A = this chain, B = another copy of it.
């Protein structure tokens, strides 16, 4: 089959890296281990998927779509080490040449990288590197990282080079660097994005979330700590250094992004969500008949809300499991109806009842408006919306695709007016303090809630 034309835009400054999944594997069964890992991290990115393996030579496969689509009929790739990447889709126009992982050959041999996060001084670094004579083939910040590392490593050797690179790279990055047959797990000093190290029966795995280690029946060894770099080589691993600094774990991983069965920086995500629901119940109780989650993201929190209040929990909304992929309905009216294809109410659970509707967060608010309508249409006598995180009011520059302040419903509106807009009888968000307590660690990033950033950001 003839391949599709590929579009490219290597124009500097266009952001292409949003929340993603990374995998590194060293040992036997590299290809199938990376495939399994990427499939278990598919929720972190569905736009494109890619794998690079090394066995003296380099092998690369990338494609648009889910892991299972891209690698469906692919021949297994040979390798003693390898890295993999799932990219998050924000729009369909992003070209394959911006898809991870990246690999180059240079005087050091073959160097590949897979990265989750966002380099905030990407633009400055790119210009500097160009000034130094480096060249770029894409507009991806991952390529800037890669070349920055190549530059420093060429000058200072691997360990010192990685350190110097990290000192120059600002922003969020949880990455795996592959230098020939060695892997380096690299996490920025704030620890925005998660990264863990595990062991399977036939090798070492580095992954964005523990659920990838579980998928291989492996065991988690440790978190890659903020600022830490771990080398995996020759069937062993060692920390080669750890930069110090204030820690700032993304609260949104706990609230929404991560899988509920993952453990992130020692916190069980599911339990954190249950606690968010409990805490929310304490902060904003309500007299009602049943607690109903917005599936799937509100389920753990609704269980917590129910537990804390004693109001029975039930499933009152059904999510159509086949509506994930974008499909444009052919006319305007049917487009409006499309939300009903995605979600439907179980009338018998809702009719004539006072409903507490629990979800994780509200970004734009459109969806919540329709969900409230669906619940009302199903006969609810009251609809109380409870959101298990605080209002989002500022952009994220650390790898989550929330950039434009104007999009956030909470940016310029009072809670009262949001309540009216979505048509709820009452609306409450979790407080920032409540969130911190529920997660159980203090050193979390809350910049998108406060607009205060732990470090320079490219505000324009």
Which A residues fall within an 8 A CB radius of B?
A: 1-12, 29, 31-33, 35-36, 39-40, 42-43, 46, 57-72, 74, 76, 95-97, 103-107, 110-111, 130-131, 133-137, 147, 150-151, 154, 211, 214-217, 259-261, 263, 268, 270-271, 296, 299-300, 303, 307, 312-315, 318, 320-325, 327, 329-331, 333-334, 337-338, 340-341, 344-349, 377
Smallest CB gap from A133: residue in B: B154
**B104→A29 contact, CB < 8 A:** no
**A346→B268 contact, CB < 8 A:** yes
For A65, list chain B residues within 8 Å (CB).
Answer: 2-3
What is the copy number of this chain in the assembly? 4
**A69→B136 contact, CB < 8 A:** no
Contacts A105-B130, A268-B348 known; 19 new A-B pairs at CB < 8 A? A5-B74, A8-B58, A8-B59, A8-B60, A10-B60, A35-B330, A40-B320, A42-B322, A66-B322, A66-B325, A68-B322, A68-B323, A71-B327, A105-B135, A105-B137, A106-B135, A111-B135, A135-B147, A216-B340
Smallest CB gap from A312: residue in B: B307
User: Please, could you name 29 A-B residue pairs with CB atoms under 8 Å apart, sorted by A?
Assistant: A2-B64, A3-B6, A4-B4, A5-B70, A6-B61, A7-B60, A32-B331, A32-B333, A35-B329, A36-B329, A36-B338, A36-B340, A36-B341, A39-B322, A39-B341, A40-B320, A43-B321, A67-B327, A68-B327, A104-B136, A105-B135, A105-B137, A133-B133, A133-B134, A216-B337, A268-B347, A270-B346, A299-B315, A307-B312
For A111, list chain B residues within 8 Å (CB).
Answer: 135
Smallest CB gap from A48: residue in B: B3
For A70, list chain B residues within 8 Å (CB).
Answer: 2, 5
Chain B proximity of A145: nearest CB distance (Å): 13
For A346, list chain B residues within 8 Å (CB).
Answer: 260-261, 268, 270
**A10→B261 contact, CB < 8 A:** no
For A96, list chain B residues within 8 Å (CB).
Answer: 3, 6
- A136 and B105 in contact (CB under 8 A), knowing A315-B270, A344-B214? yes
